[in-house]
Amino acid sequence: MKPIQNKLFISGKFVDACDGASIDVLNPHDNSVITRVAEAKAADVDLAVQAAARAFPKWSAMAAAERGKLLLKLADRIEAEADDLARLEAMDTGHPIRDARQIDVLRTAACYRYFGGMADKFQGSVVPVEPGFLNYVQRMPIGVVGQIVPWNFPLMFTSWKMGPALAAGNTVVMKPAEITPLSTLRIAEMMAEIGFPEGVVNIVVGYGATAGQHLAEHPGVGKIAFTGSTAVGRRIVEASKGNLKRVQLELGGKGANIVFEDADIAAAVNGSAWAIFHNQGQACIAGSRLVVHERVADEFLDRFVGLAKSIRVGDPLDPETEMGPLTSALHRDRVLSYVGVARDQGGSILTGGKAPNNAGLAAGCYVEPTVVRAKPTDRVSQEEVFGPFVTVTTFRNDDEALQIANSTEYGLGSGLWTRDLSRAHKMAAAIRAGMVWINSYKRVNPGSPFGGVGQSGYGREMGFEAMHDYTEAKSVWVNVDAVIPPHFKR
C-alpha cells in the first residue's frame, strides 16, 4: 500500500495544522490507530479559503475543456490505483473490501469522468425576448465553495461534490468527516500529481463544531454544500446567514421499501436486504422501513430473516465479507441503543440486535443484521437509526401503504416491489421522496439527480441539476437594433 497521507492540503501543499493539533484515525475493525491526521481549526480554514479565493480567477477563466481534462485524468488515475484506494477506504470506514473495490471506487471514478465530460457541455441559453434585443444567459461559477461530508461514503461523496463544483469553475474547500479523512487526502495527492493548479482544491480535516462551523460561517465562501444529519443541516443554515451564502443540504432519510402482494418475492427479499444491509445500513437512502403486504408477509419475512442471518459479517479486508463493522464505536452504541427503544414500545427483535458472537470481532464496531417488527408510529419506524437495523410493518391496501410511506418527516429514497406497472407508476408519483426505485433499490448514476424533500434537505447532486446548483445564472441584454421610445420627452 502507498504511504498514507495525513496532513492538511492547502494551496497545493500538504501542511501541518497551524497549532500542530492532530486527530487519531481508527480502524473500526479493531479500533487500532491507523494514523494521526493534522486537525484544522479556524486559522487553517482561513488559509484554505484564501488559497481557494486566489485560485478562483484563473481556474474559472480556464477553458472548460481543460478543467474537464484534469477531471478525466483523475478518473483514470483512480481506476489505475483502484486496489490501493479500496483498501484504504475499507480500513478507514469498515466497508467490505469487495464493495469498496466494486462500488465506491468505480462509482467515484465514474462521477469524476461524468463531470469531466460535462465541463464543456454545460451551456447557457438564448431567450426569445422583444425584437431588437439579444438576451443570453450564462452559467457562472459561484466562487469559493465550502463542502462538508459525513463518514459513511467519504470517497464517493467527495466526488459527488467536487466533480460538479470543479467542472463548473468553482474552487473548493472540502471538510471530510474527522473520522474518515484518508481517501479524501489520497484524492488530493492524486490531484497534485496530475497537475490541478494549487489552491483549486483544499482539504481541511477537522471537527464539525470548529472547522465545519467556521467554514459554514465564512464570509469568503459563496456556497456551502453539506451532507450529514438533519440536526447539523439546520445549524448550517443558521451559520450561512451572515453573508447569505447559497446552501445545499443532503440530510437524513428513513426509506420506505414497499413489498406488494404481487411482487417477485425472491427478488424483493434480495433487493430489500441490499437496501438495508449494504454498508451496514449506514446510508441516508437505506431501505430502513420494510412495508409488506399482509398476504405475503409470512413468506417474505421467513426468507428475509433467513437471509439476514446468513450474511457474512467480518473483517472488511476479507474478500468473503459481506458486512463489516460500523464506522465508529460511538455510532455502534447509538445503533444498539435502538434495540431497547424498539422493545420499550412493544417491538420484537426477529433477528440480531447485538454484537456478533465471534471473539475475532470483539474489539471492533460490529452489529448483527437486525430485523425488528414495529408499528409505523414507533420511534424506530420514525427516527433514522443509520445501521443494519430494519423495521417491518404490514399493510392491507395501496392507500395504507402510501400513508405509511409518507408518514415520516423525511423524503429521500424509497422502493416498490410489484409486477403491476400501473400501480408502480401511481405509487412512484404519490410517494414524497426525491428518489424512487421500482423492483430495485439504491441505484445511483452520475447522470441522475440525487437528493431529498422535507427534512431530507434541498438541492440535488449529480447530473445537470448539480451543475445548476454550482452555478449562478447571469442574464445579459444587448440592444442590437431596438428602437426604444423615450420615457422622458424633453
Please give the positions annotated as active site. Answer: 250, 284
Interaction mask 454-483, ligand NAD, x per CB under 6 A: --xx--------------------------
Reduced to 3 states (helix: H, G, I; strand: E, B; else coil), residue 440 is coil
Continuous H helices in 213-264 = 213-217, 230-239
Q: Smallest distance, Å, CB 322 to ligand NAD?
A: 21
Residue tagged 444529519 (cell numbers): 229
Among residues 208, 281, 324, 463, the one that binds ligand NAD under rule CB under 6 A? 208
Q: Smallest distance, Å, CB 379 to ligand NAD?
A: 15
Reduced to 3 states (helix: H, G, I; strand: E, B; else coil), residue 224 is strand
Tell me the one-letter amino acid at 467: M
Tell me how far the alpha carbon of residue 221 is from its chain's centroid: 21
Q: Smallest distance, Å, CB 168 to ligand NAD?
A: 19
How many Å apart are CA 441 and CA 443, to the nearest integer? Answer: 6
177 binds ligand NAD, rule: CB under 6 A: yes
146 binds ligand NAD, rule: CB under 6 A: no
381 binds ligand NAD, rule: CB under 6 A: no
Which neighbouring-strand residues pair with 257? 290, 415
For 167, 169, 457, the CA distances from 61, given in Å and listed in that order, are 12, 8, 32
C-beta of 132 vs 242, nearer to ligand NAD:
242
Reduced to 3 states (helix: H, G, I; strand: E, B; else coil), residue 146 is strand
452 binds ligand NAD, rule: CB under 6 A: yes
How many Å apart are CA 398 and CA 293, to the nearest integer? Answer: 9
Which is it for strands 413-417 and 435-438: parallel, antiparallel or unpaired? parallel
111 binds ligand NAD, rule: CB under 6 A: no
Label residue 422 exposed, middle or buried (CB < 10 Å: 0-12, 13-18, 19+): exposed
Q: What is the DSSP letter of 138?
A: E
The grid coordinates listed for 63 are 477553458
User: Which residue is nearest to ligand NAD, using beta carbons?
Assistant: 208
C-beta of 186 vs 218, nearer to ligand NAD:
218
C-beta of 150 vs 347, nearer to ligand NAD:
150
213 binds ligand NAD, rule: CB under 6 A: yes
Pick the stretch among 48-56, 122-130, 227-235, 373-381 that binds ligand NAD (CB under 6 A): 227-235
Among residues 37, 40, 148, 259, the one that binds ligand NAD under rule CB under 6 A? 148
C-beta of 182 vs 401, nearer to ligand NAD:
182
39 binds ligand NAD, rule: CB under 6 A: no
> Looking only at residues 247 through 276 of this chain, which bind ligand NAD when binding is defined by CB under 6 A?
250-253
180 binds ligand NAD, rule: CB under 6 A: no
The grid coordinates listed for 353 are 440486535
Q: Which of 222, 228, 219, 208 is nearest to 154 (CA)?
A: 228
Q: Smallest distance, Å, CB 294 to ligand NAD?
A: 29
C-beta of 278 vs 293, nearer to ligand NAD:
278
Phi and psi of 248, rounded to 5°?
A: -125, 130
CB atoms within 10 A of CB 64: 17
330 binds ligand NAD, rule: CB under 6 A: no
Q: Total binding residues for ligand NAD by CB under 6 A?
A: 31
Among residues 216, 273, 323, 467, the one that binds ligand NAD under rule CB under 6 A? 216
225 binds ligand NAD, rule: CB under 6 A: no
Q: Smallest distance, Å, CB 177 to ligand NAD?
A: 4
How many Å apart are CA 208 and CA 178, to the nearest integer? Answer: 8
Burial 383-406 (b: 16+ CB within 10 A, else e): bbbbbbbbbbbbbeebeebbebbe
107 binds ligand NAD, rule: CB under 6 A: no
279 binds ligand NAD, rule: CB under 6 A: no
> Looking only at residues 283 through 312 of this chain, which bind ligand NAD when binding is defined by CB under 6 A?
284
C-beta of 188 vs 216, nearer to ligand NAD:
216
Cβ-proximal residues to 310 (8 Å cutoff; 6+ apart), any chain: none
First to last CA, the chain: 80
232 binds ligand NAD, rule: CB under 6 A: yes
C-beta of 288 vs 418, nearer to ligand NAD:
288
DSSP element (H, E) containing 210 = none
Tell me the one-letter amino acid at 367: V
Query: Interior CA angle at 426 toward 435 and 384, to 5°?
Result: 35
Q: Smallest distance, Å, CB 474 to ligand NAD?
A: 29
How many Å apart are CA 170 and CA 223, to the nearest integer? Answer: 10
229 binds ligand NAD, rule: CB under 6 A: yes
Q: Smallest distance, Å, CB 90 to ligand NAD?
A: 18
Q: Which residues bind ligand NAD (CB under 6 A)?
A: 148-152, 175, 177-178, 207-209, 212-213, 216, 227-229, 232, 235-236, 250-253, 284, 384, 386, 412, 452, 456-457
